[in-house]
Every structure is written in structure tokens, then in C-alpha cells.
């Protein structure tokens, strides 16, 4: 699938993986609707229309998808929005906050499903391309889905849900010509790491077999474009982690 002159929805577009993806898609000739809770500080990029929306709110997501479809044809949705708090199931302060656990799953898994389903509804209305293909959904998991560390029970299980969703979603949407793939990044150099020391960052990088550095958000965006253009990749979760396997802590 070519990216030129298509419309795309990218969640979490205000920063990090989503921002890099939105910029890269525009550079490749797509028109992008970037969704985030707050878009006031998002970089002003020609070709990106920012919409403040909660990925768990059906009405808000529908409205954003409608804007993208109007810029159409809508053929790509990329789910980058997510939260990653840390808490042990049973810690010094007591039991893991149950409402926090529910929130993480609601944002990371239910939010991903909501955007995927509503975007797929619009993509299914587009004219088919070669082999009947109409578009692609790319979801974001994490290597924590496989190697969840101490304190990552909520995050790891929410991202494990995204991995588990990938194949049945691809099978469900096959009749509409929509592919579904997932990227599971390792340690990416995003704003969440901007406040830590260089020594700490170097320690994280040292644990990556090769290349021995943190991933760049642009590399995630590059993988999104590869998935879009490789029409036979479907129902797959791809680890982007430099062969990293996380230790318990």
C-alpha cells in the first residue's frame, strides 16, 4: 500500500512515537489526523491536523475518525497512545491500586481496540486496492508483554492484551481487506526518559545486545511505513528491541 495521498489517524501524536510517526507519514505524502489528550504543545507540522481526544471515548474517537475520512481515503490507523505507571501487586503501601490497574488496561487495551474498531469501520468504506486491500491498523504493544518487570503488572498485562488481540483482529477484518499488525518496542528514547540522568540512560543502553543504544522514535515510524508498504505482513507482532530481553528488575 502506498502512503501518498492517503489519510491516516495516529494516536498519541503529541509526542514520542506518535509524533515521530505522524511527521514521517506526512513526509511520505499522507495527510494525518493526530489525536492526543492535549495537543496545545504539539509541533505545528503542515499536513497534520491535531484533535484533542480521549482514545477511550467513543464519541470523541468517532469525530476524529470522521475528520480523517473527510480528508480521505482513510487507509491507516496507528495506535501509539498509552500510559505506563509502575506499582507492585503487593508493595510497602499495600495492594496495587485497583482503579489504577483498571485505568491502565482501559487506556492501553480498550483504547487501542476502540480506535482500531472505529477506524476499521471507516477504512472498510474505501475503494479496494490490489488484492482487495483497503488499509492497515498498526497497534503498539511493548516487550513488557513478554518480559514484564517487577512493578509492571498493569502495563505488561495491558500490552499482552494488545499482542493477543493482533491475530484475531487480523482475521476478523480480513473480509474487509484490512490488515492488522503490532509493534512491540523495547527501550525508546522518548520524553519519558528525558528527565533521567545520562548515567541511567547509559545503563539502559548497555543492556541492549546490539545496537547498544536506545531506540529512536524515528525507527518506530520507519517500521510503521514498512508495515504499510509490505502488503503480505498481516497478523504479526514485531519486536523492535535490539534483541533485548528484560531482566526481572
The string of DSSP codes covering 171-208 is HHHGGGTEEEEEEEE-SB-SGGGTTS-HHHHHHHHHTS
Give the CATH architecture of domain 7-238: 3-Layer(aba) Sandwich (3.40)
Q: How far from the centroid of its chain's Cα atoms is residue 230's Cα?
A: 18
Which position has the higher pLDDT, 107 or 39? Answer: 107
Between the CA atoms of 26, 28, 31 and 37, what dihedral angle is there, to the nearest 10 degrees?
Answer: -40
Mean pLDDT for 111-127 is: 98
Q: What percent of the chain has pLDDT over 70?
A: 98
In the prediction, which pLDDT does 194 show? 66
Whether 155 is catalytic:
yes
Residue 43's pLDDT band, with cuts at 50, 70 and 90, is confident
Question: Closest Cα partner for 78 from 235, 203, 224?
Answer: 224
In the prediction, which pLDDT does 4 show? 97
Q: At what angle do helices 111-123 and 58-70 cross, to 10 degrees?
A: 30
DSSP state of 152: B
Instruction: Give residue-wise pLDDT tens across range 131-148.
Output: 999 999 999 999 999 999
- Active-site residue identified among 50, 101, 146, 155: 155
Separation CA 87–CA 238 (nearest Å): 27
Residue 42's pLDDT band, with cuts at 50, 70 and 90, is confident
Contact 105, 161 (CB under 8 A): yes
Instruction: Give residue-wise pLDDT tens across range 20-30.
Output: 999 999 999 99
Three-state SS at 41: coil
Amino acid at each position: 500500500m502506498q502512503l501518498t495521498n492517503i489519510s491516516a489517524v495516529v494516536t498519541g501524536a503529541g509526542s514520542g512515537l506518535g509524533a515521530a510517526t505522524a511527521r514521517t507519514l506526512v513526509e511520505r505524502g499522507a495527510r494525518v489526523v493526530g489525536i492526543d489528550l492535549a495537543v496545545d504543545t504539539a509541533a505545528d507540522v503542515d499536513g497534520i491536523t491535531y484533535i484533542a481526544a480521549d482514545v477511550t471515548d467513543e464519541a470523541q474517537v468517532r469525530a476524529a475518525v470522521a475528520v480523517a475520512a473527510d480528508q480521505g481515503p482513510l487507509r491507516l490507523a496507528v495506535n501509539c497512545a498509552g500510559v505506563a505507571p509502575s506499582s507492585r501487586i503487593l508493595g510497602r503501601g499495600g495492594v496495587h491500586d485497583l482503579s489504577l490497574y483498571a485505568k491502565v488496561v482501559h487506556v492501553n487495551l480498550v483504547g487501542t481496540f476502540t480506535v482500531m474498531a472505529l477506524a476499521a469501520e471507516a477504512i472498510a468504506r474505501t475503494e479496494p486496492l490490489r488484492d482487495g486491500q483497503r488499509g492497515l491498523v498498526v497497534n503498539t504493544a511493548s516487550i513488557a508483554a513478554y518480559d514484564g518487570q517487577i512493578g509492571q503488572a498493569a502495563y505488561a498485562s495491558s500490552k499482552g492484551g494488545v499482542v493477543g488481540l493482533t491475530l484475531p483482529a487480523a482475521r476478523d477484518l480480513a473480509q474487509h481487506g484490512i490488515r492488522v499488525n503490532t509493534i512491540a518496542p523495547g527501550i525508546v528514547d522518548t520524553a519519558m526518559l528525558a528527565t533521567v540522568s545520562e548515567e541511567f540512560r547509559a545503563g539502559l543502553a548497555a543492556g541492549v545486545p546490539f545496537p547498544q543504544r536506545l531506540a529512536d522514535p524515528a525507527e518506530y515510524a520507519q517500521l510503521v511505513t514498512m508495515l504499510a508498504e509490505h502488503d503480505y505482513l498481516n497478523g504479526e507482532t514485531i519486536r523492535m528491541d535490539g534483541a533485548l530481553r528484560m531482566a526481572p528488575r
